[in-house]
């Protein structure tokens, strides 16, 4: 009996806990080099088995194989999160001690929850869309933004933080976890956009409206300005600015940014040097009609900010974070609200762009529009 590709990938991904449990109870498989070799062998096998599940199809999107492999690692992620928080046991002990010790940190636990729930759900949905011939580009851009953001924080964070003193061979499996989403994103950006069919006259009318006559866009622009200010401010804080406001913020509001794990520092720098330009460009895109790139980059940005803010905020309150680095109880409401608003702005912007694309469509030249009407 042939299963649909999404069911086959789902079944393959569920073998992850069984493999982890087996290795955890077989001592000769727990050497650091052996762990890396097993990881490569298992992911290669997942790739080959996924290929068999679509062998009957004439052609398969190469992204299908990427999604299939990451579906397996997503289940590994949720298994790690559940064990670290004490819900299960006996699966990840060997990997924490001989593979990637940083996976026991609050940052990686929250990252694992996101990987095992949000990424896993997106991956299975995209695989279903591929097998059913449905468009999946928008979902894939959200996944790519989220995945790339998690890895560009994780890899440098491990190297520069306290876990950098104990990097084991299995750590380097994170390199393809960054390279493959970057490759996938490059392919996605080069594919045709999923555009709505909108009459030229409606596009012309919408694009003549000023920002002040578009209240939703005006609110989003103000939200983006707020996000830009917050990004720059936290960048100064993490760079140890001597201003009193920066000093007070890191000690009285977000002391987690001082944690020696390295992840919060790298994250604030990623916000400052990568997220900030995208936020600024989004302001321009809401002001200037015809910026079709907004339909792609807002999805990518939403995935990146949602993932990083979930991880950062969750780590700031998680029990694995030392008490002195957690959000102070008296400032909890303010800090959580600021971080949730910061995450919400790009997400709401992406939803707005996806739901109503009229303002961002390329305008039709007046002569071409007139000729079209005459023909009709």
**Residue 227 in contact with residue 277, Cβ under 8 Å?**
no
Q: CB-hemisphere CA count at 13 Å for 51?
A: 7
pLDDT value at position 87? 97
* 3-state secondary structure at position 107: helix
365: Cβ contacts below 8 Å, ≥ 6 apart = none
pLDDT value at position 366? 53
> 376: pLDDT confidence band, cut at 50, 70 and 90?
very low
pLDDT value at position 89? 96
Residues 56-95: tens digit of each pLDDT: 777 789 999 999 999 999 999 999 999 999 999 999 999 9
How far apart are alpha carbons 151 and 185 in whole angstroms? Answer: 14
**Residue 144 in contact with residue 184, Cβ under 8 Å?**
yes
Structure tokens at 150: 């998690």
Residues 215-260: tens digit of each pLDDT: 999 999 999 999 999 999 999 999 999 999 999 999 999 999 999 9
Average confidence (pLDDT) over 298-304: 98
Residues 139-193: tens digit of each pLDDT: 999 999 999 999 999 999 999 999 999 899 999 999 999 999 999 999 999 999 8
**Residue 317 in contact with residue 253, Cβ under 8 Å?**
no
**Residue 335 in contact with residue 327, Cβ under 8 Å?**
yes
Percent of the chain with pLDDT over 70: 96
pLDDT value at position 365? 57
Tokens 């001082």 belong to residue: 258
Average confidence (pLDDT) over 350-372: 76
**Residue 271 in contact with residue 235, Cβ under 8 Å?**
yes
Neighbours of 209 (CB within 10 A): 13
Rounded to the nearest integer, the mean pLDDT of the chain is: 93
* 3-state secondary structure at position 161: coil
Q: Is the pLDDT of residue 336 over 70?
A: yes
* Cα 146 versus chain centre, distance: 1
Dihedral pair phi/psi, residue 54, rounded to 5°: -120, 15
**Residue 144 in contact with residue 130, Cβ under 8 Å?**
no
How far apart are alpha carbons 312 and 367 in whole angstroms? Answer: 52
> 372: pLDDT confidence band, cut at 50, 70 and 90?
very low
Q: Is the pLDDT of residue 1 over 70?
A: no
Instruction: Give strand ranges (E) for the chain.
Output: none
Residues 118-138: tens digit of each pLDDT: 999 999 999 999 999 999 999
Structure tokens at 233: 């401010």
Would you put residue 161 in left (φ > 0), alpha (ψ -120 to 50) or beta? Answer: beta
């Amino acid at each position: 009996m042939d299963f649909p590709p999404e069911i086959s990938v789902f079944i393959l991904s569920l073998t992850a806990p069984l493999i982890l449990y087996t290795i955890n109870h077989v001592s000769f498989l727990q050497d650091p080099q052996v762990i890396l070799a097993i990881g490569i062998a298992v992911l290669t096998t997942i790739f080959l088995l996924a290929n068999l599940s679509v062998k009957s199809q004439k052609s398969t999107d190469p992204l299908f194989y990427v999604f299939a492999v990451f579906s397996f690692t997503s289940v590994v992620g949720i298994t790690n999160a559940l064990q670290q928080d004490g819900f299960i046991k006996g699966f990840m002990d060997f990997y924490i001690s001989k593979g990637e010790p940083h996976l026991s940190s609050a940052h990686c636990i929250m990252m694992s929850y996101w990987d095992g729930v949000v990424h896993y759900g997106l991956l299975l949905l995209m695989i279903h869309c591929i097998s059913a011939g449905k468009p999946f580009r928008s979902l894939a851009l959200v996944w790519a933004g989220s995945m790339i953001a998690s890895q560009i924080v994780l890899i440098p964070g491990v190297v520069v933080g306290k876990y950098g003193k104990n990097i084991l061979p299995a750590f380097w499996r994170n390199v393809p976890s960054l390279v493959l989403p970057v490759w996938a994103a490059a392919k996605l950006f080069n594919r045709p956009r999923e555009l709505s069919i909108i009459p030229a006259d409606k596009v012309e009318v919408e694009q003549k409206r000023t920002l002040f006559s578009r209240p939703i866009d005006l609110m989003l622009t103000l939200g983006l300005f707020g996000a830009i200010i917050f990004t720059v401010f936290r960048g100064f804080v993490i760079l140890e600015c001597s201003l009193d406001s920066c000093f007070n913020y890191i000690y009285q509001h977000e002391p987690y940014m001082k944690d020696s794990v390295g992840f919060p520092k790298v994250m604030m720098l990623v916000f400052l040097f990568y997220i900030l330009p995208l936020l600024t460009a989004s302001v321009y895109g809401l002001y200037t009609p015809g910026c079709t790139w907004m339909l792609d980059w807002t999805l990518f940005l939403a995935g990146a900010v949602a993932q990083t803010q979930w991880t950062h905020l969750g780590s700031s309150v998680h029990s694995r974070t030392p008490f002195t680095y957690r959000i102070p109880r008296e400032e909890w409401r303010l800090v959580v609200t600021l971080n949730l608003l910061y995450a919400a702005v790009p997400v709401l912007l992406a939803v707005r762009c996806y739901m109503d694309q009229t303002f961002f469509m390329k305008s039709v030249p007046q002569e071409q529009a007139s000729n079209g009407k005459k023909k009709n």
